[in-house]
């Protein structure tokens, strides 16, 4: 089981509990799993070492190991005022970061678009060159052979473009998936610190 699956399952089991309690439990086990992974254990082994989720919940309710720290109303109000007053600064920085990430995705995905255009242009040129070579044989054999040679070159460009598009798209998709996962993880950590999500 992956960490995300474990956390989702834990949240589902705790759906009848208060929001603060769920946040405390999720943060507690997130830290435990991260510590185990830092010690060199794989993600799956770390989760396996925790045991069954039902057993975890039984022990948790029995021993009450999670202590809920209530936020004072003053600190919550102060944080709210700071967020509202600081919005022009942090809002513009957030928008700039999101647009920077979006532009990075666009630039990265331009590579397979260019290779697919190469594949398309090479294939069309090959087809047109083959059919255009036959009328040239009537005027001159040398022109016909030249046209066939050029169409073969364009055909090979089309094949190279198809291969490049396949290879590059696969790699970029994997990198995009990893980058998206990393961004999601960092965003969740930041939102947890603020107290927006658990």
Domain boundaries in the chain?
Answer: 3-69, 100-194
Q: What is the pLDDT of residues 22-49, one digit of tens each?
A: 777 888 888 888 888 888 888 888 888 8
pLDDT at 67 over 70: no
Helix, strand or coil, per DSSP, at residue 86: coil
pLDDT at 106 over 80: yes
| Mean pLDDT calculated for residue range 38-63 | 77
**What's the pLDDT band for 63 if we cut at 50, 70, 90?**
very low
**What's the pLDDT band for 72 if we cut at 50, 70, 90?**
low
Specify the pLDDT at position 118: 92
Specify the pLDDT at position 68: 47
Q: Which residue has the tokens 């699956």?
A: 5
Non-local (6+) Cβ contacts of 129 within 8 A are 147, 148, 150, 151, 152, 154, 155
Q: What is the pLDDT of residues 122-180, one digit of tens each?
A: 999 999 988 888 888 888 888 889 888 999 999 999 999 999 999 999 999 998 888 88
Non-local (6+) Cβ contacts of 11 within 8 A are 22, 26, 198
Specify the pLDDT at position 47: 82
């Amino acid at each position: 089981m992956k960490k995300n699956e474990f956390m989702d399952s834990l949240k589902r089991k705790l759906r009848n509990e208060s929001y603060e309690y769920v946040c405390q439990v999720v943060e507690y086990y997130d830290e435990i799993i991260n510590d185990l992974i830092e010690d060199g254990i794989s993600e799956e082994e770390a989760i396996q070492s925790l045991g069954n989720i039902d057993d975890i919940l039984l022990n948790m309710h029995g021993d009450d190991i999670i202590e809920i720290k209530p936020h004072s109303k003053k600190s919550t109000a102060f944080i709210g005022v700071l967020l509202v007053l600081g919005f022009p600064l942090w809002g513009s920085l957030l928008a700039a970061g999101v647009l920077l990430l979006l532009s990075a995705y666009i630039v990265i995905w331009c590579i397979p678009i260019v290779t697919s255009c190469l594949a398309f242009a090479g294939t069309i040129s090959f087809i047109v060159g083959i059919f255009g070579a036959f009328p040239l044989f009537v005027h001159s054999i040398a022109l016909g052979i030249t046209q066939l040679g050029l169409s073969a070159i364009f055909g090979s460009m089309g094949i190279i473009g198809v291969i490049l598009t396949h290879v590059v798209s696969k790699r970029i998709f994997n990198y995009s998936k990893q980058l998206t996962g990393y961004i999601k993880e960092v965003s969740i950590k930041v939102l947890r610190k603020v107290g927006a999500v658990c």
